Structure 1
Amino acid sequence: MSAPWTEWDHIVKLDPDKTLVDGESYADVCKTGTDAIEIGGTTGMTEEKMTEVIEPCAAAGREHDVPVYIEPSHPGTVVHADGLSGYLVPTVFNAGDIAWLTGVHKEWARMDAEIDWDRTHTEAYIVLNPDSSVAEYTQANCDLDADEVAAYATVAERMFGQRIVYLEYSGTFGDPDVVTAASDALDDATLFYGGGIGDYDAAREMGGRADTVIVGDLVHDEGCDAVRETVRGAKEAGQEPVEPDR
């Protein structure tokens, strides 16, 4: 049985430290057509903030048949709630601080006796925006060329058995050639791409190179109509343009 994310073209990532656009709800996010929702953030995360988003979002996900996952940045952000589909746990392969490879994960395993291992999966992050909070937080080495990124992707899949490789440009539109190099390096792992997806064209561009595009800031800054356009772009990636009727 294939993993659910192998069928995803688009994910919305919700940051509990930010709000939705006025008048919009988690049900509205679910109705954008996105394939899944991740909940998590790099800084400012607390169990209370996570719970305030997870519970209503999971309820909306159940109602609209959209899977909802936690992406925990550290053990204190893990919430066990009804309706969650599972946990997508980052492990940063180019981190300078090795805590983000296994250290915080060890602490979660040590502190939490309720981990549902059947629904807990890892994402092999390669962080590529040196100005981002996640790069600073993990002390990531972002000075990588396409060959080095492809090598990290290969190591993640071949040596560490990772089923998701995640290129994280975090708010900045990435280098398409780097994304293509990572994609070409993978055989079976699913390639996630996140960073700077703000419209149809950006989603279609990266959706044609990665398996799945991830939208984060857009849902908080511009709202669900803008997200809906990125869903359309991701799902139409790789398709031939349709000639207009005459």
Structure 2
Amino acid sequence: MDYKTWRHAFKIDPAKNISDKQVEAIAESGTDGVIIGGSDGVTLENVLDLLARFRRFSVPLALEVSTVESVTPGFDYYFIPTVLNTTDSKWLNGLHHEALREYGHMMNFDELVTEGYCILNLDCTAAKVTGVDRVPDEEDVQAYARMAEHLFTLPIFYLEYSGQYGDPQIVRSAKELLTNTRLFYGGGIRSTEQAKEMAAIADTVVVGNVVYDDLQVALKTVDAVKSVPLPM
């Protein structure tokens, strides 16, 4: 399934433990895709482990690349984050330049999908790692949305609250400015009600931490998201 049609996705962290039974439940839940990715502790070994375990099923797989060393063939997509509100150019284009200089000649660019990240939770690991030192307000988020859509023509604009449930008004204000760029929302979804609320605004809802805290609730978010019409 093309990522452009995903309504629901699970994000699985290579640095966290997950059983084969949980992998099977996630893969066969009806989710549109599984994203393998995390902010720290990501190694080639734990990425390969998850790849092998999920590849037994037909669910589409994307590797969200946070370290060049963890990249391996076998995924349907390679999501490449560029953090639009970072204070460290390494996370805007530095790692990307390093990867393209080393591996550009052997990359299949049809598999690469750039995500314009906007991180809105200063307490999360992603913010600390990438040098995000201020919470963007609504006008900031709107500017980043315009940057993703019009300046960089990115396929994805990703609002990342990472463990914290986001402000629906801020998410909506970004969505209203996007036509060609797809809006991904991730962060703090811990109930079907929250899943439905964000599904009514964002194109794609990404569910992560609750997988480890309450798998049954996580699985219920699939039908919850898909029961909501695609936002216009």
- Give me the TM-score of the superposition, normalised by structure 1: 0.88
Percentage identity across paired residues of the two chains = 36
Number of equivalences: 229
In structure 1, the partner of 2:53 is: 56
In structure 1, the partner of 2:87 is: 96
In structure 2, the partner of 1:242 is: none
User: How many angstroms does 1:212 deviate by?
Assistant: 0.7
Q: Distance in 2 between matches of 1:221 and 1:187?
A: 35
In structure 2, the partner of 1:10 is: 8
2:149 maps to 1:157: yes
Q: Distance in 1 between matches of 2:15 and 2:135?
A: 28
Q: Aligned with 2:10: secondary structure?
A: strand
Counterpart among 188, 191, 195 of residue 199 in structure 1: 191
User: How many angstroms does 1:25 deviate by?
Assistant: 3.9
Counterpart among 78, 84, 99 of residue 108 in structure 1: 99
Q: After the TM superposition, which parts of structure 1 deviate over 6 Å for at least 4 consecutive aligned residues?
A: none
What is the Cα-based RMSD across aligned positions, in Å?
A: 1.6
2:68 maps to 1:70: no
User: How many angstroms does 1:238 deviate by?
Assistant: 4.7
Q: Distance in 2 between matches of 1:43 and 1:173?
A: 21
Instruction: Give runs of aligned pairs for residues 1-246 of structure 1, distance below 5 A.
Output: 4-20=2-18, 22=19, 24-60=21-57, 62=58, 66-81=59-74, 84-112=75-103, 113-223=105-215, 225-238=216-229
Gaps of 5+ in 2: none
Q: Aligned with 2:41: secondary structure?
A: coil
In structure 2, the partner of 1:244 is: none
Q: Aligned with 1:185: secondary structure?
A: coil
In structure 2, the partner of 1:243 is: none
User: How many angstroms does 1:106 deviate by?
Assistant: 1.1
Q: Distance in 1 between matches of 2:225 and 2:112?
A: 26
CA contact (8 A) 2:20 2:53 kept: no
User: How many angstroms does 1:200 deviate by?
Assistant: 0.3
User: How many angstroms does 1:49 deviate by?
Assistant: 1.2
What is the letter of the counterpart of residue 145 of structure 2? A
Could you report, residue by residue, the CA deviation over 1:128-168 in whole angstroms, capped at 9, with x for unpaired residues? 00101000111114422112101101111100010100000
CA contact (8 A) 1:193 1:214 kept: yes
Q: Distance in 1 between matches of 2:12 and 2:67?
A: 16
Q: Aligned with 1:59: secondary structure?
A: coil
Gaps of 5+ in 1: 240-246
